[in-house]
Amino acid sequence: MDYAGLNDSIEKKVLAALKLINNPEIEPDVRQLNQEILFREVGAAVYAKVYNMNAFDYEIEHTTGPGIDDRYYGLAKVAAASVATGTLGLTLLVRNYLDTMASKAQQDATHNARQSGRRTRVTRKMNGETCSWCESLAGTYENPDSEVFKRHRGCDCSIITEGYRSRNGLLQNYTK
pLDDT digits (tens, 9 = 90+) for 55-95: 998 999 999 999 988 777 788 888 888 876 666 678 888 99
Name the more confident of 102 and 153: 102
Sign of CA dihedral 166, 168, 171, 176: negative
Name the more confident of 64 and 155: 64
pLDDT digits (tens, 9 = 90+) for 12-60: 999 999 989 988 888 888 988 999 999 999 999 999 999 999 999 899 9
**pLDDT above 80 (res 106):** yes
At 168 the pLDDT is: 64
**pLDDT above 80 (res 5):** no
CA distance 87 to 96: 16
At 111 the pLDDT is: 92
At 149 the pLDDT is: 87
State the chain's maximal CA–CA distance in angstroms: 55
Name the more confident of 130 and 85: 130
User: Mean pLDDT for the chain?
Assistant: 85
DSSP β-bridge partners for residue 159 = 124
DSSP characters over 106-135: HHHHHHHHHHTT---EEEEE--SS--HHHH
Name the percent of the chain lying above pLDDT 70.
90
Mean pLDDT of 143-151: 84
At 88 the pLDDT is: 66
Question: pLDDT category, 140, cuts 50, 70, 90?
Answer: very high
At 46 the pLDDT is: 94
Number of Cβ within 10 Å of residue 35's Cβ equals 24
At 16 the pLDDT is: 92
